[in-house]
Amino acid sequence: MATRAAQKRLTREYKSISENPPPYIRAHPSESNILEWHYIITGPENTPYHGGQYWGTLIFPPNYPFAPPAIRMHTPSGRFQPSSRLCLSISDFHPRSFNPAWEVSTILIGLLSFMTSEEMTTGSVSASETERKYLASRTRWWNSTGGGSIVKTDTAKGGKNQVKAGDGGAKFKAEWPEIDLENWAWIREHKVDPATGNRAVENNGASCGPQLGIAAGSGHQAHAVVDAVIQQREAGQGWLFKNKLFLAGAAIFIYVLIARLVGEGSS
């Protein structure tokens, strides 16, 4: 249970961060426990996390602000181990280095700064830029489906503060209902399979040749196809090849003309 000082301090900080949220950051305390805060970091531009939706928790000690919170990021990012405690100078790994003047916004700005660096610590992982971009594209799906899992009646029996794939997105929905609705609208719009996170691929039939780039449904589609085939056929061909019929006709005409002249000379 939070001390009176912690309760007062966190209430004030919630008001402050709601009115003036830092860039790329949203956060609020759980309705049932003011010591349990949930945050979402939106991946900044010019980073592998751009557009990603990274959800995590801050678990404050009862004597906050005289001790730091445990920091976790639940959404797979390629930067941190999902739901693992992070060893940072602003986390509970280093209580002696924590400054009571630091607020929730200070902590989350520090987390974002560390996330976009390559410094390693307990709870961080190495991944390529491609892997991190791929995970960023799946964050909305992961948050709202729990990684494609199905809600079970016993999922709440898991470890304390361990929000991993397996809860069907129930915890995220409880804490971020409006964002969860937006995520599901995004999942439907982009035809993402809720079970796998993969986008559906429309199969309009396999092609055995190069595509001509002609839009379907055009009223002049047949003519366009013929023109494209002719253009491809004529590409790279010389003047003699393209005019072979004309040359053959001219040769026959000259041959006949010469034969007549020779015949008239003989007579």
**C-alpha to C-alpha distance for 144 and 153, rounded to whole angstroms:** 17
pLDDT on residue 258: 65
Which one, of 176, 199, 231, lies nearest residue 41 by Cα?
176
Identify the domain boundary among 78, 105, 137.
137
pLDDT on residue 243: 59
Identify the domain boundary among 122, 137, 152.
137
Query: Residue-wise pLDDT tens for the chain (267 aa)?
Result: 899 999 999 999 999 999 999 999 999 999 999 999 999 999 999 999 999 999 999 999 999 999 999 999 999 999 999 999 999 999 999 999 999 999 999 999 999 999 999 999 999 999 999 999 999 999 999 999 999 886 544 444 444 455 555 689 999 999 999 999 999 999 999 999 999 999 987 555 444 444 333 333 333 433 343 344 344 444 444 555 455 555 556 666 665 566 666 565 555
pLDDT on residue 200: 82
CATH at 35: 3.10.110.10
Which one, of 58, 57, 52, 59, lies nearest residue 78 by Cα?
52
Q: What is the DSSP letter of 237?
A: -
Q: Which residues are catalytic?
A: 87
Identify the domain boundary among 137, 159, 182.
137
Q: How many domains does the chain have?
A: 2
Residue 207 forms part of a structural domain? no
Which residues constitute the domain of residue 234? 221-266
pLDDT on residue 208: 40
Which one, of 106, 57, 50, lies nearest residue 78 by Cα?
50
Q: What angle do CA 154, 157, 158 make, to 5 degrees?
A: 115
pLDDT on residue 237: 47
162-189 in b/e form (b: 16+ CB < 10 A) is ebbbbbbbbbbbebbeebbeebbeebee
